[in-house]
Structure 1
Amino acid sequence: MLEIALLLLLGLLASVFGSIVGLGGGIIIVPSLVLLGTKLTGSEIDHATAVGTSLVVLIVTALASTLSYAKKKRVDFKSGWLLFITSGPAAMVGSALTSSLKDGVFQLVFGIFMLLMAALLVARDYMKPITKQWPIERTFIDGDGTVHTYGYAIAPALAVGALVGLVSGLFGIGGGSLFVPVMVLLFRFPPHLATATSMFVIFLSSILGSGVHAYLGETNWWIVLMLVPGAYIGGKLGAYIASRMSGKGLLWLLRVTLVLLAGQLIIEGIIHL
């Protein structure tokens, strides 16, 4: 019963954090399964299975968040489909490559990546969007009736989609940790639109990425079953919180959590090299 309660709680907390900042929750789920697999399930969980399991859960999390954001008219579906053109196939490629990394290498690389994401979450508070005039200009009216104007070019948008998709499939993190800051800083998306649209792309890409992992037998369906209820509730709760508050306190908690998990992953990775 304790294992079930811990997995339900993990799904809830990871999804709340992920939905608020557009991460998708995988950046909490994957290292937790890798580092705490024995305590959560009674046996160790290899990194490929952790990634595959996380991506299945991300489908539920991202769907719950997307539906909540869509009701508030915060999802730019047209831009989301454009990003998915490359993020979807790239997520499949990344998923196919996950098992080729040795445990020590995966943990070390993932730990370093998490440190970079924590730094990016801090830096984005002090960075301003570029003023470049992009060839494609978007005008979007959100649920509050506010008109937002931003833009992008096809080639950079597809390149960003490919990079994020590859990282998503490889690490099982959804990709929002890269999508959101790039959309805000490079393409001038309003933060709340970037977060909501990111969750929509994560939903689509996670379907393809998790399909590859499932085909390769890299999914623990029992863990999925335990994580999904909390993930669905957390996805909706996170979207609600994001619409009601700035989330700065939770964002700082996430940053600290990422640093602690990253440090442990790097240590474990070095030990197992």
Structure 2
Amino acid sequence: METAIATLAVGGLIGAVLALIGGGGSILAVPLLVSFAGLSTHLAIGTAAVGVSLNALLAVIGHSRVGTVKWPCALVFGASGMAGAAAGAELGKATEPDLLLSLFGILMIAVGGLMFRGRRLAANAEVRLTRASAGELLPRLLPLGVGVGVMAGFFGIGGGFLIVPAIILATRMPIAMAIGSSLAVISVLGATTAASYALSGLVDWTAVLMLVAGGTAGAAIGLQVQKRLAGRQKLLERGFAAAVVAGGAAIAGGLP
């Protein structure tokens, strides 16, 4: 009973964090599932991949309703990342679990540090992937999508901490739209990683149900908070960067 309640709470936290900052679900879920649900690291990664993918799908529905999802950009980014995620997952399953977490923590610190530097160009809320803009956007979206996909699959995560800054780099869209768009990508990449782990028998389906049940409530709360902060662009960007660095430091330092 206590394990079920703990897993529900983990799901609620995942849903809230995904809706609020567009990433971080798996990084939170994996160590918590290991600590409180007693799952092995690889089993926790596979279970988290399924749960985060489904919770991201729930969260993206809410973001879509308020117009913070750039679907063409997100779908192109997600499609290009699927092949990378499949390849990365195979590499990840063959890598020692503690090394996986430590490497990802180091990567998070690097990404967060780059985000603290801020934008060099103004945000463009009107960016759209069309025939006219394809020549400019596709050469950035496609390789970034593949690269993020490989890392997402390798580390067994949705990749939101990487997707959000990558989408901003490729399109210059505001962070609120990058967060909404990232959730669509997380759904795709997470499903690809989840399928790889599921085929290897590395998913606890009872825990997945608990994660999704908790995530439904958490996503609703996170979306409301995100809407309140949407007008404070710089605060949201710096808060996101701080969360990335702090999470990376905890993981690299051996968060249980």
TM bracket (short chain): 0.7 to 0.9
1:61-76 maps to which residues of 2 (within 5 A)? 61-76=55-70
TM-score by length of 1: 0.79
Deviation of the 1:203 alpha carbon: 1.0
Give the distance between the partners of 1:199 and 1:151, measured in 2 at CA: 25
Q: Which residue identity lines up with residue 171 of structure 1 in the other structure?
A: F
> Which of 210, 213, 217 is the equivalent residue of 1:233?
217
Deviation of the 1:150 alpha carbon: 11
Residue 207 (structure 1) aligned with residue 191 (structure 2): yes
Paired residues, number: 246
Q: Which residue identity lines up with residue 116 of structure 1 in the other structure?
A: A
> Which of 134, 138, 148 is the equivalent residue of 2:128?
138
Q: Which residue identity lines up with residue 52 of structure 1 in the other structure?
A: G
Deviation of the 1:18 alpha carbon: 2.3
Deviation of the 1:68 alpha carbon: 0.3
Q: Please tell me the root mean square deviation across aligned C-alpha atoms, in Å.
A: 2.9
Which secondary structure does the structure 2 equivalent of 1:14 belong to? helix
| Largest Rg, 1 or 2 | 1
Give the distance between the partners of 2:179 and 2:23, measured in 1 at CA: 8
Q: Which residue of 2 aligns with 1:2?
A: 2
Deviation of the 1:243 alpha carbon: 1.1
Which secondary structure does the structure 1 equivalent of 2:171 belong to? coil
Instruction: Describe the superposition over 1:174-226 as per-residue Cα deviations: whole angstroms up to 9, x where unpaired.
Output: 11211211222442111111111111111122222211110011111122122
Residue pair 1:55, 1:172 contacting (<8 A) in 2 also: yes
Give the distance between the partners of 1:21 and 1:63, measured in 2 at CA: 14
Change beyond 3 A, Cα 1:73–1:224: same
Residue pair 2:72, 2:128 contacting (<8 A) in 1 also: no
Residue pair 2:8, 2:211 contacting (<8 A) in 1 also: yes
Residue pair 1:213, 1:219 contacting (<8 A) in 2 also: yes
Residue pair 1:180, 1:194 contacting (<8 A) in 2 also: yes
Deviation of the 1:253 alpha carbon: 7.8
Deviation of the 1:128 alpha carbon: 1.3
Which secondary structure does the structure 1 equivalent of 2:128 belong to? strand
The structure that is strand-richer by fraction is 1
Give the unaligned 5+ runs of structure 1. Answer: 132-136, 141-148, 269-273
Q: Which residue of 2 aligns with 1:127?
A: 118
Give the distance between the partners of 1:117 and 1:15, measured in 2 at CA: 22
Q: Which residue of 2 aligns with 1:26?
A: 26
> Which of 217, 229, 251 is the equivalent residue of 1:262?
251
